[in-house]
Structure 1
Amino acid sequence: MPDAIWRSNLAVFDLRVAVPPRLRTQVAETLRNAIVLGELAPGERMIERVLCERMGVSRTSLREAMRELENEGLLTNLPNRGLIVSVVDPKIAQEIFDVREALEALVCRLFCERATDEHIERCRAVNVELMAAYEAGAARELIAAKNRLYDVLIAGADNAEAERMLRSIHMRASQLRMISLSSGERRKASQEEIQLLIDSLLNRRGKDAERLARKHVQQAAKFAMSMIRRTGELS
């Protein structure tokens, strides 16, 4: 279960979206973050009237955004029920972790081989932000900081296909990340794993980075899968 700090950060989640530009993109990102942070729970129905009222947007913008999330696998269209937040069963969860492990290990190795000095400095700067977010234990800030780290690693790895696949699997893994970071004990272990990984990235130790990236995902998977198996599904 999330600790008190984690719960307090979720409790103040605001779904209201600013007016355009690119309103559909903003609506999709807001819904995506709400799913990642558990504001919209697995299995919850996406009731258009309620969501439009909460977000202050039109049904047209909402429907366009929900189609985008359905394509990403974050929403599922059920007969006679309509769209719901996708429920991830243990088999799918393990498959997502397996793919994520392989892709993140590859990206980390490529970063060590191809990153420019500018990428290295950006990684160093993001690490400072990420460690501060870990210490604060704030859900939104921590996930945002991890996303910025992945953005830097992907840019430095300079492989368009790896980027496309990793971003796709991160969409599918978003709910699982929430589980693995919801425990204070797991977050502490995650922080230590990430710090070791970043040290290897900053010093361009490709083999170490690849190994540590795999270990980090494996440990996240171990924790998340134990939580999921208690109920048989992410719900």
Structure 2
Amino acid sequence: MSEQKTTQSARELVEDSIRLGIAVGDFLPGEPLREREICELNGVSRSAVREAFRSLEAEGLITTVRYRGPMVSQLSIEEVRSIYELRGILESQAARLFTLRASDEQCARLRQTVEDIGRGHDTQDMVLVISSSADFYHVLAEGTGNVAIGQTLFSLLNRLALFRFSSTRWPGRAEKSMAELRAIICAVEQRNAEAAAQRAREHTEASGEIALLVIEERNRGALASGRTRRRKTT
């Protein structure tokens, strides 16, 4: 039993490490994930890394390419648009249910996560921004009293970790995002469920617009890089 628990903990350590690496830009879309390097980075066995790869592939964060191995997934514009549309529906409903069902203590915890995110932006501490954002959604999901919404929302958010670093670095996005989050929490504290749902949808729509801009920028960069390589070989 203890050996199984140790293996499970090692797998989770690797998963969290890779998720964070993707979120802060250490691992970029299309970048290969080398088993030996991940083992050395986390001090775990190859079996734990392989289990983590399988789990992250199921989430859509990793894609295994034949003859090339696992790499960070690359999402198309159509995939990102679809994910954000679904996220908007779920996050809006989560905000509505939280406002109707959450305790005052849960509302206070949600407010604290928003302030922690803001502190992370102010100090340029991306790890704090990401961890506090995760706390925000954990508290939000808990307060809905709906396990299915929470599970589905977290699945989508894990896939969108691919954009967290790039989108928060987009000029003016951090400030706008904080204004959106504070609008959500204000509506929640006023127990205005419809306003909270609307503010949550607006936040998701704005995040989705930035994610699409990030993809377009990456595509232009890849195209320019390809043209440069072709010119060098001709």
TM-score normalised by length of structure 2: 0.87
Whole-Å separation in 2 of the counterparts to 1:195 and 1:218: 16
Q: Which runs of 5+ in 1 are unaligned?
A: 1-18
Residue type of the partner of 1:142?
Answer: V
Is 1:93–2:80 an aligned residue pair?
yes
Q: Which residue of 1 aligns with 2:192?
A: 205
Q: CA deviation at 1:118?
A: 1.9
Contact 1:87 1:234 in 2 (8 A): no
Q: Which residue of 1 aligns with 2:123?
A: 136
Q: Which residue of 1 aligns with 2:162?
A: 175
Between structure 1 and structure 2, the one with the greater Rg is 2
Higher relative contact order (CA 8 A, sep 6+): 1
Q: Which residue of 2 aligns with 1:145?
A: 132
Q: Which residue of 2 aligns with 1:102?
A: 89
How many residue pairs are counted as aligned between the two chains? 217
Contact 1:52 1:62 in 2 (8 A): yes
Q: CA deviation at 1:20?
A: 7.5
Aligned alpha-carbon RMSD (Å): 1.9
CA deviation map 1:125-149 (0-9, x unaligned): 2233222122222211111111111
Residue type of the partner of 2:133?
Answer: K
Q: Which residue of 2 aligns with 1:4?
A: none
The change in CA–CA distance for 1:156 and 1:233 in structure 2 (over 3 A counts) is farther
TM-score normalised by length of structure 1: 0.86
Q: Which residue of 2 aligns with 1:123?
A: 110
Q: Which runs of 5+ in 2 are unaligned?
A: 1-5, 223-234
Q: Which residue of 2 aligns with 1:80?
A: 67
Q: Which residue of 1 aligns with 2:30?
A: 43
Contact 1:89 1:234 in 2 (8 A): no
The change in CA–CA distance for 1:183 and 1:205 in structure 2 (over 3 A counts) is same
Contact 2:24 2:164 in 1 (8 A): no
Q: CA deviation at 1:50?
A: 2.2
Percent identical pairs in the alignment equals: 30
SS of the residue corresponding to residue 28 of structure 2 reads coil
Give the one of 2, 7, 10 matched to 1:23.
10
